[in-house]
Chain A
Amino acid sequence: MDIAAAALAGDRRALSRLLSWVENGTVAGHAALAQLFPQTGEAHVVGITGAPGAGKSTLVNQLAREIRERGQKLAIVAVDPTSPYSGGALLGDRLRMRALSTDTGVFMRSMASRGDAGGMAHATRDVVSVLDAVGYPLILVETVGAGQSQVEVACMAHTVVLVEAPGMGDDIQALKAGLMEIADIIVVNKADKPEARQTVRALQSVRPGMRSEGHHRVSVREEKQVAAEVATGWEVPILQTSALENRGLEELLAALEAHRDFLKESGQWRARLQENARAEVESWLQRHLLALLADEVGEARLTAVVDTVRRRENDPASAAQELLAAILAAAGGAR
């Protein structure tokens, strides 16, 4: 039995190994993913994002427990940052997952962000696809502690939960573009703290603006589409949770389900699949182009062209054009 078939048949070691293969971008991993891809598209993928220390891991753990109590299987993908100096990483999300660590109904995988954000999104998407294919109906993707503009999670999730902690900024922060705009559900975590009410009020004061722009992800590329979807009709709920008081989880779970149902009934589930499919194809195309550049043009010539830009003899856009022409010529010659 090959690895994809073994993973589908419920072999968790095979699944785990396969996740490494796709994360590392191996040829065998791509082949297995190609085999599994027809079985994907069923899972509800939920992105959990927010600032470092907002309590994402703890919230994910508690949410997972609540889901397990209802007897549903789920997978968790938790991403922590890679050191830009050593390339290593300390992945600590399991620290908060103790209660679930022996429950075979939960499959949790830690990932390091490794290279660039684009590469990260690529690897995470592939890992999510495998988990989707082998039948996890719900996949929680916990992002690295995000700043204001890390919105890639929206390109793979159906539902984006933004976790805010009390006392982390005034209402002007809330008005800024970025993370706030991609949220489908906003959670004010650590609601046991007295400042929580103020945070909720600040968020509520800006919500009317959010309501009109609604709930979708603003990937820059799709701004037009976003404009067309302005009247989506999903009102972004602002919920309060507290790990300390074990509060608000049922409401959060209900909101996740409501958002999923909303997407399906309004036809936006399909629209998101379409957008995600496009993003995936484009991201592969980018990779192939870069590979072609390496194979057909070569590092030496690339460096030479980059040098002309450094010496200000050529501008970056024209330099890229020149390289593209070289790729096309080489590919044409091969044909």
Chain B
Amino acid sequence: MEKKIRVLMAKPGLDGHDRGAKVVARALRDAGMEVIYTGLRQTPVMIAEAALQEDVDVVGLSILSGAHLSLVPRVLEQLRERDMTDVPLIVGGIVPADDIPVLREMGVYEVFGPGTSTQDVVAAINRAMGM
């Protein structure tokens, strides 16, 4: 069987709005990817552990709460602890423009804000996969 791109979609933190995450998950599915959807209120440990067990190629985080600067480093750290630094992390949600370079500096592959076309997300994942 052919290899499929596997993506973990998770919402860390406490905000309860997962509509965006679901829209993106569906777009990725429609682009032929296998999306492991973990839902709301995931801790960094839960996210990294799921990424490990599912052997995903990409991790996508949806963060609307404004806590990205504290959540993202913790997720990256947990991924590092599991020797998964080769797995690109993509962040979507409400991120002020000034914070985007900060997240990039931490090692986030791409940051998407409101109004992003789902096709851009698909394209970024394909690019990350070297396709």
Contacts and interface: CB of A to CB of B under 8 A. Distances in A.
A95 B50 CA distance: 11
A88 B37 contact: no
Interface residues of A, number: 34
Q: Is the interface of B mostly helix, strand, loop or mixed?
A: mixed
A287 to B, nearest CB: 11
Contacts of A91: 34-37
Given A88-B34, A102-B49, A110 B54 contact: yes
A139 interface: no
B64 to A, nearest CB: 19
B125 to A, nearest CB: 12
Given A16-B52, A101-B50, A88 B83 contact: no
A86 B29 contact: yes
Contact of B32 (A12, A87, A92, A115): A87
Contacts of B50: 94, 101
A109 B54 contact: yes
Given A88-B29, A91-B37, A95-B38, A107 B1 contact: no
Interface string B1-38: 11110100000000000000000011011111111111
Interface in B39-86: 39, 42-43, 45-46, 49-50, 52-55, 82-84
A90 B25 contact: yes
Q: Which of B2, B32, B52, B53 has the most CB of A within 10 A?
A: B53
Nearest to B5: A88
A109 B1 contact: no
A48 interface: no
B53 A107 contact: yes
Contact of A89 (B35, B38, B55): B35
Q: Is the interface of A mostly helix, strand, loop or mixed?
A: mixed
Interface stretch (A18-26, A61-69, A202-210, A211-219): A18-26
A33 interface: no
Given A12-B53, A101-B50, A90 B39 contact: no
A36 B38 CA distance: 31
Q: Which of A23, A82, A89, A91 has the most CB of B within 10 A?
A: A91
A288 interface: no
B32 A86 contact: yes
Given A13-B82, A13-B84, A23 B1 contact: yes
A102 B83 CA distance: 17
B53 A89 contact: no
A308 interface: no
Q: Which of A20, A88, A94 has the most CB of B within 10 A?
A: A88
A88 B1 contact: no
A283 B98 CA distance: 56
B82 A101 contact: no
Given A24-B1, A88-B30, A114-B1, A16 B37 contact: no
A91 B32 CA distance: 13
Contacts of B84: 13
A79 B36 CA distance: 11
A183 interface: no
Interface string A83-115: 101111111101100100110100111101011
A112 B34 CA distance: 7
A177 to B, nearest CB: 30
A123 interface: yes
Nearest to A104: B49
Contacts of A193: none
9 contacts: A19-B55, A20-B6, A88-B31, A89-B29, A90-B35, A91-B35, A101-B50, A112-B4, A114-B1
Can you list the 5 inter-chain pairs with the closest CB atoms, starting with the nearest?
Answer: A88-B29, A16-B55, A87-B32, A101-B46, A95-B39
